[in-house]
Each structure stands twice: as C-alpha cells, then as structure tokens.
Amino acid sequence: MLQSLTIENYALIDKLHIEFSDGLSIITGETGAGKSILLGALSLILGQRADTLALQDASRSCIVEGVFAIDGYGLEALFSEKDIDYAATVSIRRMIMPGGKSRAFVNDIPVTLNVLKELGDRLIDVHSQHQNLLLGSSAFQMDVLDAQAGHVATLQQYRRAYTAYKAACATLQALQDKADRSKADRDYLQFQYGELQAAQLKSGEQQELEEELQQLSHAEEIKTALWHSAALLQDDDRAAIIALRDVAQLLQKIEPVWPAAAALAERVGSCRLELSDIAAEIGDAGERIESDPSRQQWVDERLNTLYSLQHKHHVGDVEALIALKENIGERLQAIDNFDRHLEEWQSRCVTCLKQVEEGAARLTDGRQQTAPATMHYVTDMLRTLGMPHALFTIAITRAEHYGATGRDAVHFLFSANKEIPPQEISRVASGGEISRLMLCLKSLLVKGAGLPTIIFDEIDTGVSGEMADKMGSIIYDLSKTMQVINITHLPQIAGKGDKHYVVYKDVTADDHPVTRVKLLTRDERVMEIAKMLSGQNITPAAIANAKELLMSYDE
C-alpha cells in the first residue's frame, strides 16, 4: 500500500508530505484546490511522461517520492527480473530536472520509465474521472472479461502466436511482392545474361586483342623496319656484325705487340655474338609478321563487341562485365528459388495460423465460461445500488478477423428498466448509471487483480442521496481488503473514511498561491462534511447531519 507521498516543486505545490494508512482515505476540497495536482504528481512515480511546464520553479528540480509497503503481494519475481533488491518497503522516486531530463529510482537503484510503469501497474490502480468514458470501449470491456477469466498466461501465449503469425504473413507478402517484381524483370535479366554469356568473356582478353590489333594494323610498317634492321646488322657490306668481326681481327693481330688487345678483342667478340642473336631474333620476327586482313577484321569486330557491352552496362573493362554477368546469374537463380521460399513461408504461415486458432479458441472458451458469473455479479451490485430492474449482459460474438486478443468481439449491454431490452451502454446509460456501473466493474477488477491500492477520482460523478450512500458502502467494503483512496465531493461517501484529508489553496508570504493538504481531526471532519452538505454557510442542521454520517459510520 501507499504509506507516504512527498512532492516538491510541482505545479502549485512547493513542498508537501502526506502520510497514508490502510483502509479508506477520503480526500476532499473545493474545485481548483489542487486534488488533480496530487494525482498528476503521483502519476510521475507510476511511469507517466513528464512535462517541465509542471515545475513550479523552473530553476529547480521537481521531486516526487512514494513509499510503499509491498510485502505479501508477490512482487519478488518482478524485482528479481529487473535486477532490483527486494524489500518489504520500497521507495520510488522521480526527478524532473529544469532542462527536461528525467531520472527514476527504485530503492535508490536507477530504472527506466518502462520499469517504473510496470511496477506502478502492480501497485496502484488509479481510476480518474475520464475513465468512466472507457466503459463504452470494447478494449476496456475485453480487459474486464479477461481479468475475470484469469487466463493471463493463455492470453500471453496467444499474443506471442499472433505476433509470430503477423510477422510471418508480412514476410510472405514482402517475399511475394519481391517475387512478382523480380519475375517481371526476369525476361530482361535473362536477355542480359544471355548476351553476356554469348560474348564468352575472358579476363585479360581485351588488352591482348588491343595489342594484336595494333600489330595487324601496322604489319607492313613493322615488317619493313625489321628487315632493314636485320640488313643493317648482318647483310650489308657495312653491317655491324661484319664491322665487329673486322675489329676483332685487327685487335688479334696486334696482340703479340700489345697484350691489352686480347681483352678488348674478347669483349668485341661478345658484342658480336649478342648482335648475332639479336639479328636472328629480328629476322625470325620479320618472317612471322604477316598482313592478315581477315584476322584484323575479326579482332576489330571482337573489340567493338567488348566496347559496346562496356558502354551499354556503364563499366570500364571486361573484368567488370564478367562480374556483372555473375551478379545477373545470381539474381536469376534467386528468382528461380522464389517459389521454394514462398512455399516455405506459406507453410510457416499455416502453422502459425493453426496456433493462433487454437489459442483464440481457448480464450473464447474462458470468456464464455466467465461471462455468466460476471453478469450475475454486476447485475446484483447494480440492484444493491438502487437499480432493482437493472440488467447487465455480456455478448460475445465472433469477429471478422483475428486480432491481438483473439477472434472475439465483447459488448457490455445494459438496461435500467425492465421494459427496455439491454443495449450498448453508451446509448442508454446516464452519467449516474455509468458511475455505478464503473464502480461495480472496478470492484470486480481490483479484487481479481490483488492490487495493494486503488484510487478513485470522483467515481461518484452524477450520483447523490441514497445512491451515494450505497456507493460509499461498496467503496468502504473494498477498503477492508485493500487500501482505498477516494477523492469525492459527496458527504455521504466522505463520512465513511477512516482518514479524511482536505486539499486547499493557501498564499505564501510573498503572495504566491500554493496547494496544501491537511489531515482532519474528528471535529474538523464534522465541519468539512457539514460544509459539503450546506456550502460555506454552515447550518446547525448540516452539522447535525454531518455528525450522524460519521456516527453511522462508527457504528
């Protein structure tokens, strides 16, 4: 349960500390005094988003801290899962810095807002005024019925199956779309691949062909140059090889009289041998060089084919064309494999759908078994609340498609008069009837959920007189098994509280409005309830009535 709430620098609150106890705590105060501010601050430690506009002093941090007694509520596993040390008393603190950054702590351990919200959902149920509007929501109605069915594990298992099914269907659809697009491109890709395949591309071929074309294009020029070169080396009277032979002979003649001539003669001989080899090689090359117009034409056409393919595919060489051909081949193979992949995902979707169908059927069974007892409970409570002819029924129909909660559509139907058949609540229920209906459902929910605390924020809207007294009795009965904090404008309900707090506006010494909260003594409670009965001009009759309300409760 909530033991204390401390608020600093939030809205109209400078600093506030409230101690709570078990049982029923009543909070009253004039409209605009700041009751909603208390709930707003409390929502921060329950994981709601923060807004720096809520800071009273924009230069200081806002701090909200709640202390909870949690022993016996089965929260050990949650604390272990979130790696937080468990203790029978837990402190939850939220800080909002002036720059907008937010920090949250559980027992001084930093946590995320998601952890804070998950923990808050297990500690307190806050019923604010706008939640009465949820009564007509199909999602809320489904949650109520599921809570009574108690099939949390079944619902979680179904949602996992449903999520897997939706993901499989999305993958299948994406694969099908891709297959359709790819198959539309298949003919073009096949044409490209065939064209590149027919070209019989070879790495390095282009450079070899370009060199060969240069040779074929200048065959006569090359042959003439080689012939003249060979002649200059060995065939003419002035051939270099002949000249070197004569030089060697002359040096050999003077060797007896000049010994150094031997070495020079040897070197000249070596040069002569090297030139002879060169001359032979030039001669052979000259013999091989032939003008071949047909070969030249073929090489030219082959190169044109390669150049054309490179230009068409915006690449710079044959190696890039080969890589492109391989890539297109892989894409064609992938297209050919699409059918197999589609069959695999179709099979997976069928398997997932079967799991969804089985899970949804279990949920439907649970809801159908729970609905009669829920209808009976709510109808009996409504009659207790002064609606003797009230009829509350639950219609469970089959939805068109599977959804996150199965394939059921749940509708709460209500009638306050026996002459009128039950209809959708939003069509036939008045404000007061909606308040009583919501109280019945909330009492049903919190009993099943095992929450430590519930906060009612004017759940009694639209109710007065005897009905207010009966609603107060139900709220009081709830407080015997859990902590109930009730914000109300009705004296009949205020008189039933174990503790009574009043929220009021005050003015500081520097003339700033602030919200304050005071725990009332019994005499102060009498005057506060009397004021709720008669307004600012408290009459003796109102005081007597207030005492009777409190005495009736004491009894």
Above pLDDT 90, what percent of the chain? Answer: 34
Are residues 198 and 327 located together in one domain of the fold? yes
| Span 366-423, pLDDT tens digits | 999 999 999 999 999 888 888 888 899 999 999 999 999 999 999 999 998 888 888 8
> Does 321 lie in the same domain as 189?
yes
Asked if 504 and 527 sit in the same domain, the reply is no
Q: Are 475 and 26 in contact (CB under 8 A)?
A: no
- The predicted-structure confidence for 7-24, as pLDDT tens digits, reads as follows 998 988 889 999 999 999
- Residue 363 included in any domain: no
Asked whether residue 195 carries a pLDDT value surpassing 70, the answer given is yes
Whether residue 304 sits in one domain with residue 249? yes
CATH code for position 37: 3.40.50.300
Mind listing the pLDDT tens digit for each residue in 470-514?
Answer: 888 888 988 888 899 999 989 999 999 999 999 998 887 787 888
Overall domain count for the chain: 3
Asked whether residue 107 falls in the same domain as residue 244, the answer is no
CA atoms within 13 A on the CB side of 519: 10
Residue 202: CB atoms within 10 A of its CB come to 12
pLDDT exceeds cutoff 80 at 307:
yes
Over 80: is that where the pLDDT of 441 sits?
yes
> What is the reported pLDDT for 518?
93
Does 363 have pLDDT greater than 90?
Answer: yes
pLDDT tens digit sequence for 163-177: 999 999 999 999 888
Q: Which residue has the higher pLDDT, 287 or 18?
A: 18
Q: Taken in order 529, 534, 537, 540, is the CA torsion positive or negative? A: negative
- Is the pLDDT reported for residue 555 higher than 60? no
Judgement on whether residues 197 and 59 belong to the same structural domain of the protein: no
- The reply to whether 368 falls in a domain is no
Q: Tell me: the pLDDT tens digits for 226-236?
A: 788 878 788 76
Give me the pLDDT at residue 177, please: 86
| Domain presence at residue 237 | yes
Question: At 249, is the pLDDT very low, low, confident or very high (cuts 50, 70, 90)?
Answer: confident
Do residues 215 and 328 both lie within one domain?
yes
Residue 8 lies in a domain: yes
Q: Which domain holds residue 212?
A: 181-335
Domain membership of residue 503 (yes or no) is: yes
Confidence of residue 311 (pLDDT cuts 50, 70, 90): very high
Q: Are residues 227 and 289 in the same domain?
A: yes
- What confidence score (pLDDT) does residue 279 get? 85
> Per-residue pLDDT tens for 107-118?
989 999 999 998
Are residues 498 and 537 part of one domain? Answer: no
Q: Is 39 in a helix, a strand, or coil?
A: helix
**Is 153 part of any domain?**
no
Query: Which of 301, 335, 369 is the last residue before a domain boundary?
Result: 335
Confidence at residue 314, expressed as pLDDT on a 0 to 100 scale: 92
pLDDT at 237: 67
Residue 218 lies in a domain: yes
* 278 and 212 inside one domain: yes
Mean pLDDT over 300-320 rounds to 91
Are 14 and 95 members of one domain?
Answer: yes
Domain end position, chosen among 335, 353, 368: 335
Report the distance separating Cα 158 and Cα 404, nearest Å: 8
- Of the chain, the end-to-end C-alpha distance in Å amounts to 26
CA distance linking residue 129 with residue 157, whole number of Å: 33
Most confident stretch, 4-8, 49-53, 179-183, 417-421: 4-8
The least confident of 155-164, 362-371, 530-539 is 530-539
Question: Which tops the pLDDT comparison, 324 or 51?
Answer: 324
Q: Of 171, 531, 196, give the one whose Cα is nearest residue 345.
A: 171
Listing DSSP states for 309-377 in one string gives HHHHHT-SSHHHHHHHHHHHHHHHHHHHHHHHHHHHHHHHHHHHHHHHHHHHHHHHHHHHHHHHHHHHH
Give the pLDDT confidence score for residue 129 in this predicted structure. 64
Sheet with 109-111: strands ordered across: 13-19, 2-10, 62-69, 89-96, 102-106, 109-111
The torsion of the CA quartet 191, 197, 198, 204, rounded to 10 degrees, works out to 140
Q: State residue 402 phi and psi, 5-degree precision.
A: -70, 145
Task: Look at residue 528 and tell me if it is in a domain.
Answer: yes
pTM of the model: 0.64
Q: How confident is the model at residue 520 (pLDDT cuts 50, 70, 90)?
A: very high
Do 485 and 539 share a domain, yes or no? no
DSSP-derived secondary structure for 202-265: -TTHHHHHHHHHHHHHTHHHHHHHHHHHHIIIIISTT-HHHHHHHHHHHHHHTTTT-THHHHHH
Identify the domain boundary among 335, 359, 382: 335
